[in-house]
Chain A
Amino acid sequence: MTALKAAPQDAAVSIQQLTKRFDGGSPVLDRLNLAIAPGEFVALLGHSGSGKSTLLRTLAGLDPVTEGIVTRPQRVSVVFQESRLLPWKKVWKNIVLGQEDAGTRQRAEVVLEEVGLSHRTNAWPATLSGGEAQRAALARALVREPAFLMLDEPFAALDALTRLKMQQLVADLWKKHGCAVFLVTHDVDEALLLADRAVVLEQGQIRVDLPIPLSRPRKHSDGDLEALRTTLLNALGVHGA
């Protein structure tokens, strides 16, 4: 059976025996199994070419499911590495793109306030800084009240200080909205700071599935993170870091 199914509202994400190959070559994803509980924050780590992006694109519905079964909630949102705002629409119009009922402006203002961007409601996207643009992209994802939020290396292109602020913002927003989150990243610290569970993808399969049972809010300097960091780095093939 092969399908991308829309699960009933607020159901968990479930991936069973997902296999993907391009042009009949060796599989990028190889009989991959993964489940995400409602409201759970899962971080996906892996080297470039490990299939991270392919997995996310499949979950987002951008690539078709050819082998295996994927179930996910109806309401999903994606934040990409680039903000992907339409440069010809004001920020608030970008936020409610595709929504045509009354009250869009008000909804946009509420969610922009949430991400700390209410002062740029009427700005053109080209005038935003990198951090502001990603805030807007987050707002656009949240305004749809997703049951499942996918983040594809959303802070990779930001400078270190902005990244820290954005990680804090995501932690706060997740606590407030309570949606399931799937964060694709190559930053071990980011995964440890935010996620309930870190999974490491290698050669198309989940190699390590590591719960992070630490209380929140977490800090990069927490001593408890050290052991987990070593485990994850070892799993990624980085020893002695």
Chain B
Amino acid sequence: MSDTVVLTETQSATEVPKGPLSFVNLASLRRYASPVFLVCCWQAACSSGFLSTRLVSSPAQIAVTGWALTRDGTLPYNLGVSLLRAASGLGLALTLGVLLALISGLSKAGEDIVDAPLQILRTLPALALVPLFILWFGIGETPKILLVALGAIFPIYLNLHSGIRSIDPKLLEMGSTLGLSRWQTIRDIFLPGALPDFLTGLRYAVGVSWMMLVVAEQVNAESGIGHMMMDAQDFMRTDIILVGLLVYGVLGLLSDQIIRFLEAIFLAWRPSNEKKRTT
């Protein structure tokens, strides 16, 4: 036997399978097969009485409940309330976070004034402020929106700030030899250069927003997905609780997809994105 190995087309790992379309479909179907199988097992365990429906509802029951909650308007209403809170909080965090990061990223004096207090605040677990927020702002919309904003502001600030600070000084020198004004330097070099870090921060911030919202709505609220779930707890309606979980999951997934979409549009210049588009 010789030591040489002939790499044929099928052995090459980088080669994209060129088989018939059904083969590709089969491969992608396989990814979904295992979760579907697990749900089937879950359903079987509930139907056979092996799993008590007092502890966890069956998938079929969750679907029925989800549909009923949608029909009578409970789910859309609470979802709307939750979305509005998340959006307001995230919007507030974006505005403040971007503003503070620009101040501290673009001037040394700004960094001295802004960065230190934010770095100190960052170490506090935001959720530990819930009792204080309730005392200060009551149980209306304000503490919930502020909690979301408080959680989301740090990833935005920290990432944008480090993005601005890590701009290649050689590019700044080049800009200076071209005679760019301060404003042109910010617009053409600092901001686009910090965008990848900013989007990474935004992705974290969105994730944190949902988490803060869950807690804010479960501690004290009269509406929202979290409140719907806490209400269901009193009546031992595990099906409603699971519908709420499902909604949170879908929201998280969707917001992540939106950020990915933004990255594909705004970071088209990155070599990794270029490759993705051509293959």
Q: List chain A positions with a Cβ less than 8 A from chain B.
A: 60-62, 76-78, 80, 82, 84, 86-89, 97-98, 124-127, 140, 144
**Contact, CB under 8 Å: B179 / A98:** yes
Total residue contacts A-B, CB cutoff 8 A: 56
- Least Cβ–Cβ distance between A108 and chain B, in angstroms: 14
CA distance A97 to B192 in the complex (A): 14
Chain B, interface SS category: helix
Cα of A89 to Cα of B192 in the assembled complex, Å: 9
In the complex formed, the residue of A with least CB distance to B272 is A126
**Best-surrounded residue of B175, B178, B180, B195 (most CB of chain A within 10 A):** B178
* Interface check B9, CB cutoff 8 A: no
A60 CA to B170 CA in the complex, in Å? 13
**Assuming the A-B contacts A88-B269, A126-B270, are A78 and B188 also in contact, with contact meaning beta carbons closer than 8 angstroms in the complex?**
no
* B271 to A: closest C-beta gap in Å: 4
Distance in Å from the Cβ of A172 to the closest Cβ of chain B? 23
Interchain CB contact under 8 A, A60 and B177: yes
In contact, A62 and B176 (Cβ under 8 angstroms): yes
B177, A77: Cβ atoms closer than 8 Å: yes
Residues of A within 8 A of B188 (CB): 86, 89, 97-98
Instruction: Say whether B184 faces chain A, with CB atoms less than 8 Å apart.
Output: yes
Q: Report how far A62 CA is from B174 CA in the complex, Å.
A: 9
Q: Do B171 and A97 touch across chains, with their CB atoms under 8 A apart?
A: no
Known: A82-B170, A124-B268, A126-B274. A88 touches B177 (CB 8 A): no
The answer to whether A86 touches B189 (Cβ under 8 A) is yes
The answer to whether B274 and A84 touch across the interface, beta carbons within 8 angstroms, is: no
Among residues of A, the one whose C-beta sits closest to the C-beta of B191 is A88
Q: Is the CB of B180 within 8 A of A78?
A: no
The yes or no answer to B173 lying at the interface (CB within 8 A) is yes
Q: Which A residues touch B269, using CB under 8 A?
A: 87-89, 124-126
A124 CB contacts on chain B under 8 angstroms: 268-269, 274
8 contacts between A and B (CB under 8 A): A60-B177, A62-B173, A80-B170, A84-B173, A86-B188, A87-B269, A97-B175, A127-B271
In angstroms, Cα B115 to Cα A50, docked, is: 41
Q: Which residues on A sit within 8 Å (CB–CB) of B195? A: 88
Closest A-B pairs by Cβ, 3 of them: A84-B174, A88-B192, A78-B177
Please give, as numbers and ranges, the residues of chain A lying within 8 Å of B179 by CB-CB distance. Answer: 98
Q: B193: CB under 8 A from chain A?
A: yes
Given known A60-B177, A62-B177, A77-B177, contact A86–B184 (CB-CB < 8 A): no
A98-B184 contact in complex given A82-B170, A88-B192, C-beta closer than 8 Å: yes
Asked whether A98 lies within 8 Å of B189 as measured between CB atoms, the reply is: no
Chain B residues closer than 8 Å to A125, beta-carbon distance: 269
Interface hits, B158-195 → A, CB 8 Å: 170-171, 173-181, 184, 188-189, 192-193, 195
Question: Distance (Å) between the CB of A55 and the closest chain B CB?
Answer: 15
